[in-house]
Structures are given as C-alpha cells and as structure tokens.
Copies of this chain bind each other. A is one copy, B any other.
Amino acid sequence: MIVVMKTSSRPDEISRVTKRIEDFGLKAHISEGVDHTVIGVLGQVFTELRDALELLPGVEQVLLVSKPYKLASREFHPRDTVVEVKGVAIGGKEIIVMAGPCAIESEEQLLLTAQEVKAAGATVLRGGAFKPRTSPYDFRGLGETGLKILAAVGKENKMPVITEVMSPDQVDLVAKYADILQIGARNMQNFILLDEVGKTRKPVLLKRGLSSTIQEWLLAAEYILAQDNEQVILCERGIRTFETHTRNTMDVSSIPIIEKVSHLPIIADPSHATGKWYLVPPLALATVAAGADGLLIEVHPNPDMALADGPQSLNFDSFRLLMSQLSPIAQARNRQLATQSAKSKH
C-alpha cells in the first residue's frame, strides 16, 4: 500500500500517518518527492487501515499495490487447479460441457434430456430444483423432489450432476444429491452461503454477480477457499450494462483475465448471459475460442413449453449442431471436447 500526501502536507501530518501505520504493526517507509511525499506500507494490509489512512489530514490518496485476494491468485498458486468430479476433469486440457434444463420438471423430461445431451457430448448434467425468480409469482422449482430426480437420472446416465443451492440451510440437503454445488449470480456476495459451501468437500461452481468486478468475484471465491475447499470453478454469465438487446452482456474478456490472475478453472454460461437461444451458439464458440475451460448450456426437449427460461434454451437439434461446431474451435486452441476422450474410456 502506498500513501500519497498532499502537496501542502505538513511534517506533523506525515508523522501522524506513520504512527497509525505502526499502530497496526506494520512498517512505514517515507520517500520525499518534488511535489508529493509518498509513504510505502510494508506488510499485510487490511481494508480498515486503508480506510483509516484515507481520512487523516494531509493525505491525498491511498493506492493499493497488492491484490486483496491471495488463495485465488496465480501469484500464490502458479499451477492450474483441475477440479475432478467422478472422472470428469474441469480445468485441464479438455473442454467440459454441462447441459440440461433450467428447471427440473419431471423425471421423463430430465431423462430424455440427459440421454440426448450425453449422446451429443455433454459430460455433466445440470438441472434446477430450487429456482431464484425475480417475481414471487413465478415457478420456484420442485425442491427435494427435483434433487432426487436429478441424482437418479445422473446415476443412470453415469453423469455427475450440478444444481443450485440458494441458502445456507439448504447446503446439507443439496450436497446429499449433487456432485457440484452451484452458487447463482444473485448470491455471489451471500457471504454466509459462501462460508457454508466452503465447509463442504464438494466442488463449487461460482457464478459472477451481475454487477461484480473481477476482483469482487475472486474475493467471493476467496471466501470458499478460505474454508479449505479448493475445488472452485468460476462461471462467467454476463454483467449488467445499458444494452437491452441481450439480458446481460457476456464479458468475454474476463476469461483470459481470470486465466492470467488466477489458477481456478473458468467456464461460460451463454444461456443466461444472452437470454436468447439463437445467441447461445455464437457466444459458446466465442468463449471457448477465448480460452474457457467449458460451458454451461440450457437444453430443453420443448423450449416453448418450459416452465422457466424457455427463450434461452436450445432444443436437441440446436445443441447437437453447436457441439459439432465446437469441436474444431477447441482443436484450434489445442484442446478437445471431453467426450472425445471419455468415449474411449468406456
């Protein structure tokens, strides 16, 4: 941390700053410039100290030099994290596709979808049992019944399953049935929920909040990592901007940025980012071309009969077509779709 003093700052103001730094058990290092005196702070800095220094007389600004996250940073942990779940490796050389309906509606619907997406190359099955909905009058999911269907269909099709957990007191229940716990965008800063999923030993997929900076997203991951759960998968799903043609704006740049500053795997969710099914394939291809480790895609047997988010779901034909286009993109990035190797294992 660096404290820049005002041009007009007096010696006693400088002393007061250095004293406050030392009160926090840190060392201050004064450097006189022509215009500004600059004070470097050595040691681990907490937000409280920065806040306190900003208020002292004579201080122009306080600049943070170190990143506030540690466990999520590549500097701290240079090697890529690969999350393994029932034989599927997320963050390695293979591109992983997680697919399924937004909401689980019935065993028939989920089974049919699972068979189709698996045949097309998906290796993880997704499906919502607890649904966050903007309006209290919308369908909110089948709850535990949905979880049971999900676990059964996943087992039958030998696919690990992922589903959302919405509150701390649901964590044990959801963890009983799911292989990967999903934290939704609206809960990215639900810190108590982050603590709770951190205490499980299950992989966690952490969606980026609609208005979260990349730094806030990594600090949210830090909550989970700080509980000794190292299996965190990030998921870019669009941020809120002024553009109204899409529900959100997929921030494709976040993918190579995360790859640079963090060791955690990152996948993309073009279904929620765009909100429109015909934009899902081009954005899926774009994010894999940009370096994403995988995709989360909504697929429904009859999107126009879906109980939730029909307009952004692919039908089976569109999904198969997407998977066929995805393969050469993966190869162009020197990677391959998981299914290609998985097939050889069985």
Q: Using a CB–CB distance below 8 Å, which chain A residues touch chain B?
A: 2, 4, 7, 20, 27, 29, 31, 33-36, 38, 40, 42-43, 46-48, 51-52, 54-56, 60-61, 63, 65-66, 68-69, 75, 132-140, 166-170, 186-187, 189-193, 209-211, 213-216, 219, 222-223, 226, 239-246, 249-257, 260, 273-274, 277-279, 282-283, 285-291, 303-311, 325, 328-329, 331-333
Contacts and interface: CB of A to CB of B under 8 A. Distances in A.
Contacts of A304: 20, 52, 55-56
Given A240-B240, A252-B282, 18 more contacts: A2-B38, A7-B75, A36-B65, A47-B137, A48-B138, A54-B310, A55-B310, A60-B65, A68-B137, A133-B191, A134-B216, A136-B219, A252-B283, A260-B278, A282-B289, A286-B286, A286-B287, A329-B332
A192 B213 contact: no
A223 B191 CA distance: 21
Contacts of A192: 166-167, 170
A139 B209 CA distance: 22
Contacts of A139: 48
Chain A's interface: helix, strand, loop or mixed, by majority?
mixed
A242 B242 contact: yes
Given A167-B168, A282-B290, A305-B52, A213 B245 contact: yes
A135 to B, nearest CB: 5
A282 B305 contact: no
B274 A245 contact: no
Nearest to A6: B75
Nearest to A210: B211
Contact of A332 (B43, B214, B325): B325
Contacts of A216: 134
A303 B250 CA distance: 29
A160 B222 CA distance: 36
Contact of A2 (B2, B7, B251, B311): B2
A232 B243 CA distance: 22
21 contacts: A29-B31, A38-B40, A51-B308, A51-B311, A52-B306, A69-B135, A133-B191, A136-B219, A136-B223, A186-B189, A211-B240, A241-B251, A253-B274, A255-B282, A256-B278, A260-B278, A286-B287, A286-B289, A289-B289, A328-B328, A328-B332
A48 B307 contact: yes
Given A31-B31, A63-B63, A306-B51, A167 B193 contact: yes
Given A66-B35, A169-B169, A137 B46 contact: yes
